[in-house]
Amino acid sequence: MSWAPIATIADDVNAGRVKAIDLVEQALAAIEEHKDYQAIISTLADAARSQAKSIDEKVANGVNAGRLAGVPFIAKDNLLVMGVEATAASNILKGFVPPYQSTVINRLEAEGAICVAKANQDAFGHGASTENSDFFVTKNPHDKTRVPGGSSGGPAAAVVLEMAPFAIGTDTGGSIRQPASYVGCVGLRPTYGLTSRSGVVAMASSTDTIGPLAMTVEDLAYVFDVYAGKDELDSTTIGRDPAGYQLPAAAYQLPTARIGVIKEWMGEGLDDDVRESVEKAIADFKAAGAVVEEVSIPSLPLSLAVYYILIPAEVSSNLARHDGQRYQFSEQSGKDLFESYTLSRAKGFGREAKRRIMIGTYVLSSGYYDAYYKQAQTVRTKLINEFNDVLERYDFLIGPVAPNAAFKIGENADDPLKMYLVDMMTVAPALVGVPAISLPITPSSQTSMPIGLQVIAAQRRDRELLEFAAAAEEVVSHG
């Protein structure tokens, strides 16, 4: 059974027309039905049922249970939920049960949302396919032989499989937008700092963001409005738009939009079927009356190299805390403290985590810091300036989310460089800190797999981005 719009679900629960416990049972049944897709790491059945009964009791006593009353959702496994194992799909954290939970989860639950499961991901967020999960590979809902993208592949697949009306993921360099493109849902990367990172297992602190995945922009905006904004537990957070992020009744007027098509993303390296789908969307915008012009961001071809210098540097720092002493996994055979460190990390971390630790440690080391890390930060600043310049002249920028549609499981597993190239269109907005969204457009003419259009706005213009995306959702071709 398909889910109703999220606002409708909450209204029905608060009015007593629908029971929260029935919604939880619907979600749990869908999780069980589609367990062969391996989207879920753990199910919170008992806790979810208990929360649902409490919400139903509130409603029966005439108390409003919140804007998300009874709405089930799924959290990526790197978001802490109190009393529930949080592994970030890594062996080194297996068995870790946090004594507190993330601000995002707190705010969702305060409005009546119910977390029913924790979803699979690439371990610590290191990957673009969920093949780097230490547990199992999630399958694409449209083709079990293909990946769902990553690192938020589990949450994205869960939404499309209707396990819940929405999911919460994290986006460091594309980890919400790319899986949303691969499975055919909507995924938002907000402006950096607009969502609290408190209670989220860190990957790269300067680009980590927390965003929703849903089947419609309306649902996505409704959820985002609940948890966006400043948090005293995260000093990097910024204030929310005073108008909020819930979409107004009036649709955005596309003829007023000035749209820039990013030239560097439409050339070499882009698969023909993706180019075809993006060009159809461009034609749809023009037919709707929008001004659509090609724009150039000269430093964009350097963004992937910059990302894979800066982010491993932050990864190596953040993963240093996992030393076999303070968190779950600890190899007991070490003869001394140093050997305990090395053996615990050797056995606890997966291959990709080790690769990024080694790269990050190298670029931060004496003699290489100036040659790599400092140079990359200089180019990052240049990218920020170039994006700011273009976004002063255009309301939105568009282009592909990824250079291809979902690839076969195992196709890129033994070629790290080829896997990293999947991120070539998503890392720049992350480095710059601007909001971006993935919208489903015409599926691949070759494989019929979903393809996403990436829409980017200037910093703090998340509300305008959501309004535009809702209007675009109505006019772009879906096949």
Pull the structure tokens for residue 210: 């927390």
Determine, yes or no, domain membership for 182: yes
Domain CATH code at residue 77:
3.90.1300.10
Tell me how far apart the alpha carbons of residues 307 and 117 are, in angstroms, rounded to a whole number: 31
Question: How many domains, in total, are found in the chain?
Answer: 1
CB 319 within 8 A of CB 207: no
Domain assignment present for residue 209? The answer is yes
Identify whether 440 is part of a domain: no
Classify residue 312 as exposed, middle or buried by CB count within 10 Å of its CB (0-12, 13-18, 19+).
Answer: buried
345 belongs to a structural domain: no
CA distance 474 to 476: 6
Q: Which range of residues forms the domain containing residue 74?
A: 6-227
Residues annotated as part of the active site: 76, 151, 175
According to DSSP, the residues that pair with 223 across neighbouring strands are none
Domain assignment of residue 411, yes or no: no
Per-residue pLDDT of the chain (479 residues; tens, 9 = 90+): 799 999 999 999 999 999 999 999 999 999 999 999 999 999 999 999 999 999 999 999 999 999 999 999 999 999 999 999 999 999 999 999 999 999 999 999 999 999 999 999 999 999 999 999 999 999 999 999 999 999 999 999 999 999 999 999 999 999 999 999 999 999 999 999 999 999 999 999 999 999 999 999 999 999 999 999 999 999 999 999 999 999 987 778 899 999 999 999 999 899 999 999 999 999 999 999 999 999 999 999 999 999 999 999 999 999 999 888 877 777 788 788 888 888 888 888 989 999 999 999 999 998 899 999 999 999 999 999 999 999 999 999 999 999 999 999 999 988 888 899 999 999 999 999 999 999 999 999 999 999 999 999 999 999 999 999 999 999 997 75
